Amino acid sequence: MTTDAADAHPDHAALGRAVDEAVELLGYRGHLYTFIVHYRAFPRPQEKFLYVSRENVAGATCPRCGGGEVARYPVLTVGGWRLVVRCQRCLVDLKMEPTPYPWGLSYQSFTTLLPGGSQNKSK
């Protein structure tokens, strides 16, 4: 895993290019993960604010506090985006399951890149 040669910061770009050259020279055929820290052309959202909509879950009651204000909405956790059904009073989760990314963003949890992570296919 290294910075990408397309990074706008010269040090990051240089490291990315150096790794690209090393990969080429060594004939490495495994996966190479890169990331960008500085990027000037990232498209800015058109909206003034980004938010997710919360959908009230009618008839649900919180098992912890007995509150009836329960809502369903996506949240970003360390494991990626999840759709939660959460008490709005005490914030206990009644349900949590994987969900597609809101706003069309892509996100890959860092933990999936660690040894044993589901996306790590490096040799």
Residues found near Zn ion in the complex (CB under 5 A):
62, 64-65, 67, 87, 89-90
Minimum distance from residue 60 beta carbon to Zn ion (Å): 10
**How far is CA 40 from each of CA 3, 34, 37, 53, 104, rounded to the nearest angstrom?**
15, 17, 10, 29, 20
Give whichever of 14 and 90 is closer to Zn ion, judged by the CB atom: 90
Q: What contacts 24+ positions apart, CB below 8 Å, involve 50-58?
A: 50/103, 52/102, 54/88, 57/85
Minimum distance from residue 64 beta carbon to Zn ion (Å): 5
In contact, 79 and 111? CB cutoff 8 Å: yes
Give whichever of 19 and 84 is closer to Zn ion, judged by the CB atom: 84
Give whichever of 13 and 71 is closer to Zn ion, judged by the CB atom: 71
Give whichever of 1 and 65 is closer to Zn ion, judged by the CB atom: 65
Minimum distance from residue 112 beta carbon to Zn ion (Å): 31
Minimum distance from residue 61 beta carbon to Zn ion (Å): 9
Rounded Cα distance, 66 and 34, in Å: 47
